[in-house]
Chains A and B, each alone.
Chain A
Amino acid sequence: MIPAGGTDDGGIGTSFEKVLSGIEQADAGDGVVLLCDLGSAILTAETALDFLDDAVRARVRIVDAPLVEGGVAAAVAAEIGGDLESVVRAARSAAEGVPAAPVDPASPPLVTRTVTLVNKDGLHARPAADFVKLASTFTARVTVNGKDASSLLAVMSLGLIRGMTAEISSSDENGAEAVAALGDLLESGFGEE
C-alpha cells in the first residue's frame, strides 16, 4: 500500500510524480487499485494513467470509494490473495456501506456458536482482518451477529470489544467446519493479551 498524498514539497494538493511512482511501486504484475478522494487527486490519477504503458494501464483501476474505509477493505482483500477484480469490489463495497447479511433471516441457522471475546481489541483492525481472512477460506456463508463474516467492514462495524459476545452462524449445510474454526479463532484471543 503506497501513500501518494500531497504535493512534492509536502503541501496540500497532488503530485503527479508521487502518484505515478506510487503506481509503479505498487505494481507487481497483478494489478493496482488506486483510491483518491476528490478534485486534483482524481484528475492527477487519471492523467497518470495516460502516461503508463498500455500493458500496465490495463491492470490499474481507479476506484471511487471512501479513502480510509475503501483502503482498509482493499488492503485486506489483497492480503488474503484476492485478484484485481476482488480488490476492486472490496474497495467499492466501502462506498455502498456495510453489506447486508448473506442469509435469509427466515431460514434458521443450521449451526450456531456463541463466543465471548477475550482479547484486548476485540474484533477490530488486525483481529477483524484475521477473522475475515479465515472466513473467506470457506465456501460456506457465515454470519457474525447477523453480519457477513467475510466482509471486513461489516465485521468492524459491529464494534465488538473484549467481554462482548459474538454469535457465529451458518445456514449452509457445510457450515459447521467454518463456524467451529472461526469460533476457535475468537477464543484464541488472536495472540493478544
Chain B
Amino acid sequence: MNLDVTWAKAWITTGAAVMNEHRVELINLDREIGDGDHGENMDRGFQAVLLKLDDLPAEANPGDVFKLVATTLISTVGGAAGPLYGTAFLKAAVAVTGSAELDGAALVALLTAARDGIVLRGKAESGDKTMVDAWTPAVDAADAARAGGADGPAILAAAAAAAEAGAEATEPWVARKGRASYLGERAIGHRDPGAQSSALLLRAAADTAAGD
C-alpha cells in the first residue's frame, strides 16, 4: 500500500492489536528481568492511542499520527517505555513532518529519528540489552535496503526482520541499562522485553505496508 496517513493509522491500529495479543508474553519477559509491567503498560498506552486515532482531522499526514502516538504514550504508559517510545514517535513525527506520503528516504529518516530519540532519552548503547538492540539493526537494515533500491514495504520488511533478530540476540547478554542491569548474570538467557516490543511494533509496520 502507499505509505501515507492510511498506512500510518493501519500500522498503529495493528500495533495496538499486537501489543494486546502479546501482553502476557511481554509481562512474562519483563517479570524475568524487570518489574513485570511492560506488557500491561504497552497495552494500556496503545489502547489509549486507538481511542484518539479517529479524532485526527481528515487532512492529517503520517507525522500527525506519530505525534498523537507520542503524546498519548507519554501520558498513559506509566513506565519507562512511555517516555522512550513517546520520544521515539515524537522525533519520528518531526523527521517526516508535512509529508503526505513517505518514500524510502523518508522511512529511513523516520526509523533513524525514532532510534536516536530512544538513545537520547535512555542513553543506552548497542549491546546494553535494551530497545536500542532492536532499533539499531532495523535502521541499518532499512538503510542498506534503500541503498539497494528496495521500495517502502521492502525497506520496512528488512527493518522488521533485523529488529526481530536483534531482539533475539539480546538473550545471552548481561544488561547494562535499565532494571535488568541490577541482575547481573541472572539476566543471561532472557530476551529484553523492550527489544521484543520494538520488534513487534516494526513487524506491524512491515505487515501493514505489505498489505497483509
Question: A: which residues have CB within 8 A of B?
Answer: 7-8, 11-17, 39-40, 43-44, 46-47, 50
Contacts and interface: CB of A to CB of B under 8 A. Distances in A.
A13 B86 contact: no
Interface string B50-91: 000000000000000000000000111011111110110010
A43 B78 contact: no
Contacts of A44: 74, 82-83
B179 A16 contact: no
Nearest to B70: A47
B83 A17 contact: no
Interface of B: 37, 41, 74-76, 78-84, 86-87, 90, 121-122, 178-179
B121 A47 contact: yes
B37 A13 contact: yes
B86 A47 contact: yes
B79 A16 contact: no
24 contacts: A8-B75, A8-B78, A11-B78, A12-B37, A13-B37, A14-B78, A14-B82, A15-B78, A16-B74, A16-B83, A39-B79, A39-B178, A39-B179, A40-B79, A40-B80, A40-B82, A43-B82, A43-B83, A44-B74, A46-B83, A47-B74, A47-B86, A47-B87, A47-B121
B75 A40 contact: no
B79 A47 contact: no
Contacts of B81: 40
Contacts of A12: 37
A78 B90 CA distance: 35
